[in-house]
């Protein structure tokens, strides 16, 4: 494990031209990202990170699976099924974004369907339905 030397910042410059603000690792004037002596360890860390992401799948698509969408109820059913699949993934920022996105869509559908029902009731009351 790499220990940080404390609040002393790295003496390297970032690609943007700004000074690096990461703390130095013990026994070095550089952070983990910029220390030339740690290049092999950085490469291995990146490789491990890439391997950890491989092979994760939501599950196989059913053979001949077909979704018929004829109503908002059908749309909500499909979104609920996909939301349940996403909820089985490991917790991550990507998972949280996907859950939020799907919930937002379902929420919008419910809001739209409620407004549609209220409008239909008003039109019926006003005698505009023909």
DSSP 58-110: S-PPPTT------SHHHHHHHHHHHHHHHHTSPP-HHHHHHHHHHHHHHHHHH
Query: Residue 102: what pLDDT?
Result: 93
Give 9 or 55, the one with higher predicted confidence: 9
The H or E element spanning position 9 is: strand 4-9
Query: Residue 54: what pLDDT?
Result: 56
Taking the whole predicted model, whether its pTM rises above 0.75 is answered as no
């Amino acid at each position: 494990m790499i220990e940080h030397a404390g609040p002393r910042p790295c003496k390297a410059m970032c690609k943007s031209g700004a000074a690096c603000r990461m703390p130095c690792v013990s026994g070095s004037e550089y952070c983990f990202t910029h220390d030339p002596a740690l290049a092999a360890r950085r490469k291995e860390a990146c490789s491990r990170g890439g391997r950890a992401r491989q092979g994760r799948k939501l599950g196989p698509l059913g053979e001949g699976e077909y979704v018929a969408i004829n109503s908002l109820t059908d749309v909500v059913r499909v979104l609920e099924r996909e939301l349940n699949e996403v909820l089985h993934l490991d917790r991550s920022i990507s998972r949280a974004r996907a859950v939020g996105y799907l919930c937002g869509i379902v929420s919008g559908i419910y809001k739209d369907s409620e407004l549609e029902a209220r409008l239909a009731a008003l039109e019926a009351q006003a005698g505009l339905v023909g």
